Structure 1
Amino acid sequence: MAPIPRLRTYRGPALLSYGFRPFFLFGSLYAGLAVLAWLPMFYGELALSTAFAPRDWHIHEMLYGYLSAVITGFLLTAVPNWTGRMPLQGRPLLVLVLVWAAGRIAVTLSAWIGWELAALIDNAFLLLVAAAVAREIMKGRNWRNLKVLIAVATLVAGNVVFHLEAHVLGAADYGVRIGIAAVLALIMLIGGRILPSFTRNWLARENPGRMPAPFGPFDVASLIAAGAALVAWIVVPSGVLTGAALMAAGLLQAVRLARWAGDRTWRDRLVLILHVAYAFVPLGFVLTGLAALRLLPSGAGIHAWTGGAMGVMTLAVMSRASLGHTGRALVASASTQVLYALAVAAALARVCAAVHPAWNDALLHVAGGAWAAAFVGFAIAYWAVFTRPRLSA
């Protein structure tokens, strides 16, 4: 995302001058703190006044709490670039942030206020985001990005299903899979745009030679295969056909990633981490495919996707976009590289905890501690980036 040249005269707090600022800051803080609450909940040492089962609260707040915040921050910053229209700033942005925060409180206190009211408040946020993105895309006649809106609308539907399942059945399953599939679709769509672009720009300047393959029929085929596999997984998560479709999609996504020349970007950690994050996409497909064949626990693939592809990718995108949009050099500092390492370690530890149940307790604590350190650490390290005005050129 390049800096937005079209700005209204704005004299309010810097935090509310761009969509990425509040949502990246508060979203990352929430991601870290929510996991610190989740571990004692998992071990029965903490109880929240939520109508959700502890597992569902954890999954919901990562998928529809943290990830929804980061996706919103990204879209509120990227869509104006795509459409040529003004970004959301000031009071309207503050209202959106407050609605998101209200959703987090409502879900956590849903046993007290009632699941219906909690669902209404929580779903209001994603509905507002979908409406805002739809309005900007249609006003800007930017029809090529309607596919992004479809993914956001799927996330909205997944959240509605999640609340209904949790209330009627006592546990959410379809809502979980729909949410994961929607976020993965965004990563494959937007990641397939930014990874080759950022890689090509850096290689052309610093390491000429083999370049990322341009978007073409292979990418279209790999996306269609991934979409079909995810639909099959949502509907029938176990079985030979679902397992085969998931593993085939994983192979195609691995080849797609290899075509982007990430192996030539070792010297630029801001670019390299994007490739590392995307590698969890095919890994998740393969592990989930093996789980569909009942050869592995389902948690291995799900956490490769959520902790790895989603967690590491959002940290990578947040750091790069925040530096670029505030006039800072696109360089991963030593502290940023430590945050990347912590996020990758957290994802790998969580996947291994699912694969090796005997090591579960130790690895869960490693994963939770590393995740919290990565995301709370990011909020602390980038606090000034988010709360101070853009640096002058």
Structure 2
Amino acid sequence: MTARCNPKRFAFMRLAFRPFFLLGALFSLLALLVWLAFWHGNLWLAPYGGMFWWHQHEMLFGFGSAIIAGFLLTAVQNWTGRPGLSGWPLFALVSLWLTARLLLAYAAHLPAWLLLLIDGSFLPLVALAMAKPVITVRMWRNLMFVPVLLVLALTNIAMHVGVMTGNTLLIPEAGHLAILIITLVMVLLGGRVIPFFTSRKLGIPQPDRRRSIEITSVGALASVVLLQGIIMLSSLSANTTLAALMVIAAISNGWRLSFWKGWLSWKEPLLWGLHLSYAFIPLGLAMWAWQLFTGQRVETALHALAIGSMGTMMLAMMARVSLGHTGRTIRTLPGVGVALGVLLIAALLRSVWLVLFPHSSHWVYSVVIIAWCLSYLVFVLHYAVPLLSMRVDGEDG
């Protein structure tokens, strides 16, 4: 293949964060505009699985998986010192992700097994691309993300199987498991990067890692994921045990967060955005536990995690990584702090507010969707050019 045709010559395919951050952000914006139209009676799509399945699935495995892939496949280069995925292999992986999004939205008539094969192969390939450099340098500590990605891939398959078999109970249980796995990823990554970023930006010592808190915060949430997986596969009724584990995970992660001195970051949106997004993890888990104990629907707890934690943390991380890895000064660009704040308020509306005022759901849904779209539009407008351009320092990546 000549250099003229090599995608690696183009900045967009130099490292995984570039295409996955930009396309993932754009996709979430467009998907939620479709969802907003649906809530107001306009059906723009007739997707595979129906609109409710498509919305849940695509925000987790379309948007969420893209951002996770972009971050991990970029970070693994820093962790191992080995070249990250780029060029034709990266182009193929991005094309697979994009093909799955298009087919699930517009080709519901295709055989279900084909859609499952195309969509379900993305995360295992991400896991493989991550495992290769980690195993090469024998950096076993970072191998933990590989089984997490593979279990997340299994929940994706489960959601497809739910549609294929008409199992309406499997779909929500698989969706719940996916949110919990993504939350576990955020706990693992957040524990690494949030104290480090805070220490580096504010010039303060990194907090001492208290082994008991670290083990409990990660272990309790991992136990929640394991039990939810068993519930999904067996239809076991274990709400009380699951809620108890969530309470432990909520308390330990809230305690863990308190050691990171987030209150010192009030002048730095890229920092307080990370701290507050992590705070939604104990909040969401505590709400989930309470709703399980009281026999309520867990929808508001799910959105505390999905918007307040996942959506906000991903936006803050993308804003930081997209500057640092393109050779630019890491700073809060105009409007990014507002975007993070708007997303956090939207998360409170979609979770705590709706618990207190459930009859306001119709206007809350619309406001929250618009808030997400505006926040991610700020990211796209600011970062499209850096993500599409060569590094300003002339280095590769």
TM-score (norm 2): 0.91
> Does 1:28 find its partner at 2:31?
no
Pair 1:119–1:11, CA change in 2 (3 A)? closer
Q: C-alpha separation between the residues in 2 aligned to 1:215 and 1:89?
A: 38
Q: 1:11 to 1:43 in 2, by over 3 A?
A: closer
Pair 1:61–1:258, CA change in 2 (3 A): same
Equivalent pair of 2:287/2:301 in contact (CA under 8 Å) = yes
- Residue 238 of structure 1 deviates from its aligned partner by 6.2
Does residue 1:176 correspond to 2:175, yes or no?
yes
Q: Name the residue aligned to 1:294.
A: 294
**Correspondence for 1:322:** 322
* CA–CA separation in structure 1 for the residues paired with 2:100 and 2:304: 26
Q: CA deviation at 1:186?
A: 0.7
- Counterpart-to-counterpart distance in 2, 1:11 and 1:370: 35
- Which sits farther off after the overlay, 124-133 or 233-242? 233-242
> Is the 8 Å Cα contact of residues 199 and 212 (structure 1) preserved in structure 2?
no
Q: Pairwise CA RMSD of aligned residues? A: 2.0
Match for residue 52 of structure 1?
49
Which structure 1 residue ranges, 5 or more long, are not aligned?
1-8
Give the superposition deviation at 1:79. 0.6
Write out per-residue CA displacement over residues 46-86 of structure 1, whole angstroms, 9 at most, x where no aligned residue. 15232313211101000000011001110111011111211
| Equivalent position to 2:214, from 192, 215, 219 | 219
Distance 2:138 2:54 in 1: 38
User: Cα deviations across residues 259-298 of structure 1 (Å, max 9, x unaligned)?
Assistant: 1111111122222211011011000110000111126531
Moved more, 365-374 or 123-132: 123-132
Matched, 1:389 2:384: no
1:11 shift after superposition: 6.1
Q: Percent identity?
A: 33
Classify the secondary structure of the residue corresponding to 1:334. coil
The correspondence of residues 47-126 of structure 1 with structure 2, limited to 5 A, is 48-126=45-123
Contact 1:287 1:296 in 2 (8 A): no
> How much does 1:109 deviate?
2.9
Question: The residue matched to 1:244 in structure 2 has which SS?
Answer: helix
* 1:308-335 deviations in Å (ceiling 9; x for gaps): 1100010011000011111111111222
Answer with 56-65 or 123-132: which moved more.
Answer: 123-132
Using the alignment, how far apart are the partners of 1:25 and 1:148 within structure 2? 23
CA distance in 2, matches of 1:282, 1:327: 34
- Which residue of 2 is the match for residue 152 of structure 1? 149
Residue 223 of structure 2: aligned partner: 228
Determine the C-alpha separation between the residues in 1 that align with 2:335 and 2:198. 22
Q: After TM superposition, list the pairs within 5 Å mapping 1:326-337 onto structure 2.
A: 326-337=326-337
C-alpha deviation, 1:377, in angstroms: 2.4
Q: In the superposition, relative to structure 1, how do residues 268 and 63 fare at CA in structure 2: closer, same or farther (>3 Å)?
A: same
Size of the aligned set, in residue pairs, is 381
1:271 is matched with 271
CA shift in 2, pair 1:71/1:288, >3 Å? same
CA distance in structure 1 between the partners assigned to 2:7 and 2:87 by the alignment: 8
Amino acid at match of 1:254: G
Residues of 2 paired with 1:10 and 1:54: CA distance? 35
Gaps of 5+ in 2: 1-5
Contact 1:16 1:22 in 2 (8 A): yes
TM-score, normalising length: structure 1:
0.92
